[in-house]
Amino acid sequence: MKKTKIITMYLPQYHQIPENDKFWGKGFTDWTTVRNAVPLFSGHIQPKTPENNNYYDLSEEQNVIWQAQLAKTNGIYGFGVYHYWFNNDKNLLTKPAEIIRDSKNVNINYFLAWDNANWVRSWSNVKGNAWAPIAEKKMDTKKEPTIMLPYILGSEEDWKIHYSYLKKHFLSPKYIKVNNKPIFIIFNYTPKISLMCQYWDELAKKDGFDGVYAILKNAVGFNIPEEFPKFKYEPLFSGWPKRTLRDKIQNKLSKFFGVRVKADKYDYDYVWRNILKNAEKDISQNIYHGGFVAYDDTPRRGNKGKVVTGSTPQKFAYYLSQLLKISSAQDKEFVFITAWNEWGEGAYLEPDTINGIKYLEAISEVTNYIKL
């Protein structure tokens, strides 16, 4: 029986890049969304504020060192750093992962998680999201692109260029591997992804690896081949109940009248119980379970967002312990937690002005004192 390791997903969008300056305004980072969030209903706590107003810049090594020390001290094995490779000319928000790779002062394991999709203007100018540009539909009338950066998978020549960049990470002793295969998460599957992974396996073997351990995001409707390992990105995979007829009618009426005053709300215990129920059923070695700290994406999506209510560090500790026990009993090496620093989705372990480091202490408690 394995002791399951905790991976926390890691957002690098906390340093300035020209593309964000162009699309969202000078100086934009994800802190822009966080600072400008507003409460949308009674008891809704927004904006969330990092402890000591630590609105860090992840292009600075000292901030990545701080993150790594905090994570490792509290029982986190590594970061799954989001990777934004759109095409051979556009590979964005690379600085934090490269600091982790290159700095001798950053002591944390990591791998890359490729969010392989178009970059689109999907954050509308709605109540609770006043920082954003106008909505996508209006963008078209102003002849501005809905798709800001296209994702192009390309062919073997493009895959070789992409692999050449990834290889610099794969060769790092900090980069997490399974059976001498560097882990690489891919969010969106198409049949062409299979061909790319086969090609990358060939290249990786020439570099002394036994292939690339490609893990696909487990999502309904993607028809992912059985041979691929999968992970559940929570709470999106298990958390939301099916829409009732009443929900569908209300949604249509809201769109028709242009009025929607509240985000969708879900109960923390309900969502986590679904996660654990699904975890107990999914015993396949090819499926890794996921969990989450908390969730509130209204800083990004305003009243079109989702809010999970009722989260506490104590509840998180309990549910995480159950997920780790299930994963360990099923001999799964990792669980994937949303997230280390998704402040714009309310999914973060970093200290804030409400709970300090209590969510991190919950992980430390679980990993140190609960026998798996």
Looking at residue 179, its pLDDT comes to: 97
Could you give the CA distance from residue 315 to residue 183 in angstroms, rounded to a whole number?
A: 30
- Give the residue from 104, 103, 96 showing the smallest Cα distance to 80: 96
Looking at residue 154, its pLDDT comes to: 95
Phi and psi dihedrals of 275, rounded to 5? -60, -45
- Give the residue from 171, 232, 168, 225 showing the smallest Cα distance to 197: 225
Could you give the CA distance from residue 116 to residue 106 in angstroms, rounded to a whole number?
A: 27
Could you give the CA distance from residue 309 to residue 295 in angstroms, rounded to a whole number?
A: 8
Contacts within 8 Å (CB) and 24+ apart, 162-167: 162/85, 162/88, 163/199, 163/200, 163/203, 163/204, 165/85, 165/91, 166/112, 167/203, 167/207
3-class SS of residue 63: helix
Pick the CATH number of 5-369 from 3.20.20.80, 3.30.70.260, 3.20.20.60, 3.40.190.100: 3.20.20.80
Looking at residue 267, its pLDDT comes to: 95
Rg of the chain in Å (alpha carbons) = 20
Looking at residue 138, its pLDDT comes to: 42
Cis peptide before 150 (omega within 30 of 0): no
pTM value is 0.92
Looking at residue 240, its pLDDT comes to: 80
Phi and psi dihedrals of 345, rounded to 5? -115, 10
Looking at residue 143, its pLDDT comes to: 47
Q: What is the mean pLDDT of each run of 10 residues along the chain (372 residues)?
A: 92 96 90 95 96 98 98 98 95 98 98 94 50 41 65 96 98 98 96 97 98 89 84 91 58 56 88 96 93 96 92 98 96 97 98 98 88 50
| Residue 10, strand partner residues | 81
What is the residue-wise DSSP string for 97-141?
HHHHHH-TT---EEEEEE--S-EE--S---TT-TTS-S-HHHHHH
Looking at residue 222, its pLDDT comes to: 66
